[in-house]
């Protein structure tokens, strides 16, 4: 009886230690996740706040070259292009 009770006590202690270890790892993972969230939040806030608004967006860098090429194609079409069509 005494030996059996001692074994049960040891098993309960191991279970408690296992639970503590498991809880420790869960808490560590939660803490790591929260820290990662905070890190990405702060990095994104820093990126947004330090964004250079003095230069236009990359899409607008194409505005003038596209505008000039479209105008050139239009002028070519209305001059030389129509003569080619009418000659057939």
Taking only the tens place, the pLDDT of each residue in 73-85 is: 989 888 877 666 6
Report which of residues 16 and 33 the model is more confident about: 33
**The overall pTM is greater than 0.75:** no
Q: Write down the mean pLDDT value for the chain.
A: 80
Specify the 3-state DSSP secondary structure of 78: helix
């Amino acid at each position: 009886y005494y030996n059996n009770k001692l074994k049960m006590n040891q098993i309960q202690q191991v279970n408690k230690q296992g639970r503590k270890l498991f809880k420790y790892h869960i808490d560590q993972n939660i803490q790591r996740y929260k820290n990662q969230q905070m890190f990405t939040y702060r990095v994104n806030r820093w990126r947004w706040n330090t964004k250079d608004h003095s230069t236009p967006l990359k899409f607008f860098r194409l505005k003038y070259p596209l505008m000039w090429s479209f105008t050139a194609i239009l002028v070519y079409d209305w001059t030389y292009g129509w003569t080619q069509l009418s000659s057939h």
